[in-house]
Amino acid sequence: MAGLLVHAAVGVIFGLIVYFIFKRKDYSIAVFTGNLLPDFIGVGYACLITMSLNPYVVLTSAAWISIDKDYVVQSFWIFLEATFIMLYLFFHVYVKKRKPHHELEGNLALLLFGFITHMMMDMIILEHGIWY
């Protein structure tokens, strides 16, 4: 839970910085979403494997413990993140009927910025996972 709170706080801080620079809420939401996306996908995977939404059951399960150690699991949730990014961009461009070039590039870049920020924080500060 401490890692989630740190990532949420950093997501809010970067979201505010992006909002003050660009004056756009959707860019701020993209940074915040990108920062929390790896944890949500990992917890979602563990919930699917354990077939439970109980936090105690999920966090003590073998699926949750193996997420940091298994390359197959890492590849799986990275694939799910890419799918989520594509669905996010599809919704933003086609459902909201915005022009794709500026909107798409800005949202994608900031979503990936949030994702990279999350990974760098995990690699350097919070967890070591598969990195070491």
Residue 97 pLDDT more than 70? no
Q: What are phi and psi of 60, to 5 degrees?
A: -105, 5
52 phi and psi angles, rounded to 5 deg: -150, 150
User: 45 pLDDT exceeds 50?
Assistant: yes
Structural domain containing residue 95: 2-131
Q: How much is the pLDDT for 17? A: 93
CB 104 within 8 A of CB 23: no
Predicted TM-score of the model (pTM): 0.69
How many domains does the chain contain in total? 1
Token representation of residue 112: 């990936």
DSSP secondary structure of 58-99: HHTSHHHHHTTT-HHHHHHHHHHHHHHHHHHHHIIIIITT--
Average pLDDT over residues 28-57: 84
Mean pLDDT for the chain? 76
The most confident of 18-22, 35-39, 58-62, 68-72, by mean pLDDT: 18-22
Q: Are 67 and 73 in contact (CB under 8 A)?
A: yes
